[in-house]
Each structure stands twice: as structure tokens, then as C-alpha cells.
Amino acid sequence: MSQNKAPKNNVFYRNQNWHYPKIDRGEGIYLYDVNGKQYIDACSGSAVANIGHGNEEIAAYTEEQMKKIAFTHLSRWTVDTIEECAAKVADWTPGDLNHVYFVSGGSEATETAIKMARQYFIERDGKGSTKWKVISKWHAFHGNTMGALSMTGIPERRRIYEPMLLDFPKIPQFYHYRNPWGCETLEETSVKAAEALEAEILKQGAEKIAAFITEPVVGAACPGIHSTKIYFEMVREICDQYDILLIVDEVMAGFGRTGKKFGVNHYGIVPDIITAAKGMSCGYTPIGAAIASQKVFNRIMVEGSGQFIHGHTYAGNPLSCGIAAKVIEILERDHVVKNAELQGEYLLEKLRSLYQYPIIGDIRGKGLMIGIELVKNQKTKEPFEAQQNVRGKLTVNCMEEGIVPYPGGGAVDGTHGDHILIAPPLNITKEQVDELFEGLERGIRRTIRDIG
């Protein structure tokens, strides 16, 4: 039964059981509510506000561009801002990932990528191609639209929509803390997780598989988990061997979040398609992209029909592309990615001291994309009962202390398991990292008192 805590107005809020404090303004890493209370946006909304809030340079540029041209339809026109943004994105991506299909967000980006993969094989092999399935992973999030949700491996998000979803196979994640193979090292877990891909390909039949999708560092589903380099080396080899496209979902990890331009840069391989959104515009406008390699682009657009059978009204929006290009300019000019690397190392080292508290099970991450898993018993890794809502209690307590984390759960078995993502703006200073940590620690202490 609903708790009906949400404000009583005309908004269809996402969760009627949350009270929704009203934000008045944002400035840098901080948010201020209508009562003047200050919060550190310790999750950048959802790893979005990577250059912080209230950027006046972006605001001035947006006004100027909006007066010039705000909307055209990509089926008929091109605009300088669209071309400039695509060129900047292509400069950031590894290898020959040079062709950018703009959309409005992350779910659209992943749906675009799997359509691109399917059409690639149709153009190459003819209409009779049987390659359509996409292998994805449990403990992975790729979006909430039906195709994206078919790839998402979070049971709680899938449960009521299950009859409507595509039959996409799932394999285990490189979730070392709770790995199913009994591996003692992350390297061993990484190898086993890659071997699981080959086993699933052989089970399904390579002739039915169009693509494999993976995050480089996991976000909402199981924040901060990552592999060693060997995982992506093996996965790249397996995809090539079985004629399968490799899609790397960088919607959360891309554009500097992990201390590299893209998360995949930690591993030294080049995928066939990258999906991006969030940090691409840092929340100043809705935008996302599927970024294709030369091989994929040529097969469809040069050697094939020359027409991608796909489209959205706001695909290639000139205002959004212009804002994203300006954001990327700021990321480069202000060395924001390097700062994410340095402050991420500093924050992760400070966070390790939290193991002194009995509810802290695992701390992991890269750059400023860090996950903290909460447990009832550190030694056995036993999770809390779901009805205790420990992640909710911790979120409320942290917000009381002026810190906004990103809570989630269900990582143990789809129901049990509590965790938070810590992903502050990438231009956070060392002094602000200290401030974030101190507030988070106070929130943890309050939570321990609450749950006894």
C-alpha cells in the first residue's frame, strides 16, 4: 500500500513513498532546497552532473544558441552544432569509433545500438540472417525501455514487465565480492566471467547472436564493480571468433567518470559500438549517442542500403548537440578527467577506513564511480532483510547530514542486498572530498544506531 508521501500536485512522481524535498538552485557540487539547506550532490543526480550545477558559461551559450536555432529534424537538415559535437565525440572515443548517432538519453542509446547490430548483419548476410539475440549480464543496467530492459539484468526492474520482454540470454557479471565460482582473486573472477560468455554463445548457437553488451565499470545495478584487463581482452577475442559485435555501454562510465575519457580505456580494447549519455552533456540537456566503428558504419551506410532504419524526433537536436560540445570543451580545458582520476584515488583511499563499521561489506570502483555494499555480517557477507530497507535509512540519514548518495539493491538474489553509489561531480576539490566523506561517515553512524 502506498505511503503517499509525495507532494500533492499534478506530477506523476516516480515513487509515491518518497517525500521529495524541493530544490531551489544548484551551485557547483552543491544543491540548495527552498529552506536553504545545503546538500553535496554525492551522486551527481545519477552520475550526470559531472561539471556541477549552475554553470554560467553553459547558461550563456544555451541562450545564444537557442536564439540562433534550437530544433531541426535530422532526416532533412544538418547544422554546425551537430557536426561539431560529433567531431568532438569522435576525438574522445578509442580506435575507429568515429560515427555518432545522436539520441536523447541512455535507454535510446542502447536500443539504437542493438538495432544497429541487427541491421549490420542484415546488410551483410541478407534478410534471412538469424543473428538477432543480444547476450547481456545479470547485475547490469542498460535502460528502462523495452529493448533496453530486455538487456537489463536487475530482476526487480524486470519482474512485472517480464512477459513483454525479448528473450535475451544473461550470463554472470564480474562481481568478485559475490562471484559464483569461488574465485579468490579478481583476475580469476574476470577469466571465469569471460569464459561464461563463450559457454553461452555455444549454448545459444553463434548463428543466433548479434551482439554482446557489457559495462566497463558497473553503475546502478551493482555500483563500482569492475574486472581486470584480461576480461575485456578475452571478450574482444571471443566476439571476433564467433562473429559477434561487442557493445560497451558507457552511459554512466563515459566522458571522464572513471578517470579516463571512456571506461573501456582502462582495458586497452576497442568495441564495435559504444553507447553514451549522462556525462556527455552533464545534465544541461538531454542527449545520448550510439557511436559506431568504421566497420559497422561502412556495412550499413556505404556498402549497404545507406539508410539506418531508425529515428527519433530529437535525434541530432542542434541545441542539445551544441550544449554537449560546449560541455566537452570545458571537460578538456579544465582537465576535469584528470581531476576525476586524482580525486577518485583520494576518495577511495579515505572510504576504505569505513570497513571499521560492521555494515560495510565491500568498497570498489574506478575514478569517481564508487560503490559501497552494505551487509548484516562482514565475515559471512550476509545481507540485510529487504524489509529493513537499510539503503533507504542510509539515504535519509546521509541527506540529514547534507550528503546525497544513490541507493540501490537486490544484488544478492534480486531481492536482498543494499548498496549506494558515490559519484560526485568530477570537478570536486580535495577539500570537498573531505567534506563529502565526513558527512557520509556521520550518515553511516546514524544508520548503525537506527538498525541496532
Residue 374: C-alpha distances to residues 223, 343, 378, 437, 441 (Å) = 12, 23, 9, 16, 13
Amino acid at 328: I
- Predicted pLDDT of residue 444: 98
The sheet with strand 418-422 has its strands ordered as 360-366, 369-374, 418-422, 406-409
The DSSP secondary structure of 263-300, one letter per residue, reads GGGGTT---SEEEE-GGGTTTSS--EEEEEEHHHHIII
Instruction: Assess contact for 321 and 289: CB atoms under 8 A.
Output: no
- Predicted pLDDT of residue 211: 98
Please list the pLDDT of the chain residue by residue as tens digits (452 residues). 888 989 999 989 888 888 889 999 999 999 999 999 999 999 999 999 999 999 999 999 999 999 999 999 989 999 999 999 999 999 999 999 999 999 999 999 999 999 999 999 999 999 999 999 999 999 999 999 999 999 999 998 999 999 999 999 999 999 999 999 999 999 999 999 999 999 999 999 999 999 999 999 999 999 999 999 999 999 999 999 999 999 999 999 999 999 999 999 999 999 999 999 999 999 999 999 999 999 999 999 999 999 999 999 999 999 999 999 999 999 999 999 999 999 999 999 999 999 999 999 999 999 999 999 999 999 999 999 999 999 999 999 999 999 999 999 999 999 999 999 999 999 999 999 999 999 999 999 999 999 98
Instruction: Assess contact for 372 and 382: CB atoms under 8 A.
Output: no
Distance CA(268)–CA(271), nearest Å, equals: 10
Q: What stretch of H or E contains 374?
A: strand 369-374
- Predicted pLDDT of residue 2: 87
Distance CA(131)–CA(117), nearest Å, equals: 9
- Predicted pLDDT of residue 272: 98
E strand map for 338-397: 360-366, 369-374
- Predicted pLDDT of residue 97: 98
**Terminal alpha carbon distance of the chain:** 26
- Cβ atoms < 10 Å from Cβ of 73: 12
